[in-house]
Amino acid sequence: MIRYFSCRNALCQETEHLDQASWVHLAPPFAPGELDAFSRQLQIETDFLTDPLDSEERARYERYDDTRSIILNTPVINEREKENDPIFVTIPLGIILCQNKIITISSVESPVIEKFLDRKVKGFNPEDERLFVLQIFEQTVHLFLEYLKKLNLRRNLIEQELYHSSRSEELRSLLSIEKSLVYFVNSLNANELLKLKIKRTDFLGIKDHEEYNDLFEDIIIDNNQAREVAQLYTNILNGTMEAYASIISNNLNTVVHRLTVITLLLMVPTVISSFFGMNVPMPFDLGSYKGAFYFLIITSVIFSFAIAWIFKERKFFN
């Protein structure tokens, strides 16, 4: 699906014609041959449009004639989340600058682009391509930080449930969070290297523009902060999973220990009743004693309490 947007008097509106548009957004589903026809219409290489659709595409930028392309990693909610799958993943977002137009393309609907479509970004103006690209960078970093807060909150809630639990469901939930953090750390590292290279080579042509240059510096600093936060949460989560795996193992050992003690206590009356329940003469003429049944019961109880006292003295009970 291809959508065209034009801006007049700081108001961005959707239009139906390419020649009127200053911003074009492409997102699935695509009709057969739609991307090829669009690339021919703009006279650009098809690879500029298809590369961002590859979920494994690395963050990078390139220039071919008058066409410039930037591929940035952005976070999205994992809609296909299954057991042990990450909660959030990252996908490439393509930004193409050509013929005084900005083209954005992604393999799924990007929350970053949705902020612009919903007019939630202050000062948004696609006609200023340098500012638009910087705003995409900025909103991407903000989205990373927002999702990191949600992951950390979810981790805290799971830890509270896990403290008194001997189940493994909570650990599997923590594993999903850990996978999301791995995606974030790798993507933020790649994005940071990309931005530093763009700044060093002045790919956007903002070297002499103080306001844009300062904004880009702030974005790089925020990206570095998000990367450090993601790495910190990853380290905390790794230690937490190891600690709570030990706690769960200890809880299970405690349960098994108690069951073993109870089994030993119940084994004494079982052995005595089994032995004297055989079809054999009972010792000490107990067979002729009318209170033999109660004598055996009392004897079993005494032995059970004696064993329980021994276990308690030797601290076999927790």
Dump the DSSP string for 44-73. Answer: --THHHHGGG-TTPPPEEEEETTEEEEEEE
Residue 262 belongs to what domain range?
253-313
Mean pLDDT score, 54-66: 88
Is-above-0.85 flag for pTM? no
Task: Please state at what angle helix 210-276 crosses helix 169-201, rounded to 10 degrees.
Answer: 160
* Tokens standing for residue 44: 């650009």
Q: Is residue 318 included in any domain, yes or no?
A: no
Task: Provide the token pair at 186.
Answer: 């790798």
Q: Are 78 and 85 in contact (CB under 8 A)?
A: yes
Which residues make beta-bridge pairs with 15? 4
Domain boundary among 251, 280, 304: 251
In this predicted model, what pLDDT tens digit does every residue of 259-281 receive, in sequence order?
A: 877 787 777 777 777 766 656 55
Are residues 228 and 305 located together in one domain of the fold? no
288 exposure class (CB count in 10 Å sphere: 0-12, 13-18, 19+): exposed
The 10 Å CB-count burial string (b at 16+, else e) for 307-317 is bbeeeeeeeee
Q: Are residues 191 and 282 in the same domain?
A: no
**What's the distance, CA 55 to chain centroid?**
16
Which pLDDT does position 81 carry in this prediction?
Answer: 60
User: Which of 59-68, 110-119, 295-304 is the least confident region?
Assistant: 295-304
Domain boundary among 216, 234, 251: 251
Does some domain include residue 189? yes
Once rounded to an integer, what is the mean pLDDT over residues 306-316? Answer: 72
pLDDT top residue among 303 and 42: 42
Residue 136 in any domain: the answer is yes
The total number of structural domains that make up the chain: 2
The DSSP symbol for 282 reads P
Tell me, what CATH number does 108's domain have? 3.30.460.20
Query: Are residues 173 and 228 both part of a single domain?
Result: yes
For 124, phi and psi rounded to 5 degrees?
Answer: -75, 125
Strand order in the sheet with 67-77: 11-15, 2-8, 23-26, 101-106, 88-98, 67-77, 60-64
92 with 204, same domain: the answer is yes
For 240-254, write each residue's pLDDT tens digit. 777 777 777 777 777
Q: Is the predicted pLDDT of residue 221 greater than 90, yes or no? A: yes
> Is residue 76 located within the same domain as residue 107?
yes
Alpha-carbon distance of 142 to 219, in angstroms, equals 9
Residues 237 and 189 in one domain: yes
Closest to 104 (Cα-Cα) out of 113, 91, 117: 113
Distance CA 180, CA 174 (A): 10
Q: Do 209 and 262 fall within a single domain?
A: no
Considering the domain architecture, whether residues 244 and 262 belong to the same structural domain is answered as: no
In a domain? residue 229? yes
Residue 285 lies in a domain: yes
Q: Has residue 288 got a pLDDT over 70? A: no
Which of 182-186, 229-233, 308-312 shows the lowest mean pLDDT across its residues? 308-312
CA–CA separation, 127 and 212 (whole Å) = 15
**What's the whole-number mean pLDDT along residues 282-311?**
68
Contacts of 226 (CB under 8 A, 6+ apart): 141, 144, 145, 148, 184, 188
Asked whether residue 77 is domain-assigned, the answer is yes
Beta-sheet strands, E only, within the chain: 2-8, 11-15, 23-26, 60-64, 67-77, 88-98, 101-106
* Structural domain includes residue 129: yes
Using the predicted structure, report yes or no on whether residue 68 has a pLDDT greater than 60: yes
Task: Provide the 3-class DSSP secondary structure of residue 38.
Answer: helix
Q: Are residues 105 and 136 in the same domain?
A: yes
Q: Is the pLDDT of residue 75 over 90?
A: yes
Q: Are residues 238 and 184 in the same domain?
A: yes
Is 60 exceeded by the pLDDT of residue 79? Answer: yes
Residues found in the chain: 318
Confidence (pLDDT) at 220: 95
- Average pLDDT for residues 102-114, to the nearest whole number? 90
The position carrying tokens 């909610």 is 77
Confidence band of 22 (pLDDT split at 50, 70, 90): confident
Q: Of 203, 229, 251, which closes a domain?
A: 251
Residues 241, 220 within the same domain? yes
User: Is 108 part of a structural domain of the chain?
Assistant: yes
Q: Are residues 188 and 286 in the same domain?
A: no
